Amino acid sequence: MNVTRFIDAPPYFPDNHFGMHCVRLQGHEAGPSHSLWLGVSTIRPGGHTTLSSSEVEKHYVVLEGAVNVQTDAGEVVLKERDSCRLAPGERRALHNRTDKPAMILLAMPYACPVVHD
């Protein structure tokens, strides 16, 4: 078992994320994982990402507050415990358009298979 206490979760600094604090809960520098990694982003009021895509699918769950998720098809507001899945190559942007911080969980497979001994 690999336990990561939220207080000790290592930060990471993705490109094109503004007004956000991102930490990894599992995978990458947070510990071993064969298929996916988990992260949490705290998005300050006015915080956002740019409209971009990745080669793998993404799953989001809003833990606190509300987050606007924008795609080329439109925009939805996810509130606490709401979730969404974004397909590989689907462009997305996240926005906190409220006056309170929001927290969102990200689950994402590795782009390339990870080999462990």
DSSP string, 83-97: EEEE-TT--EEEE--
Contact of 44 with 65, CB cutoff 8 Å: no
Q: Beta-carbon neighbour count of residue 90 at 10 Å?
A: 14
Residue 74 reports pLDDT greater than 80: yes
116 confidence band (pLDDT: 50, 70, 90):
low
Distance CA 39, CA 58 (A): 11
For 52, which DSSP code?
B
Give residue for tokens 């956002």.
48
Distance from CA of residue 17 to its chain's centroid? 10
Residue range 48-68: mean pLDDT, rounded: 96
Give per-residue pLDDT as tens, 8-39.
999 999 999 999 999 999 999 999 998 999 99
**Check whether domain 6-109 has CATH 2.60.40.10, yes or no:** no
Q: Where exactly are the structural domains of the chain?
A: 6-109
Residue 114 reports pLDDT greater than 90: no
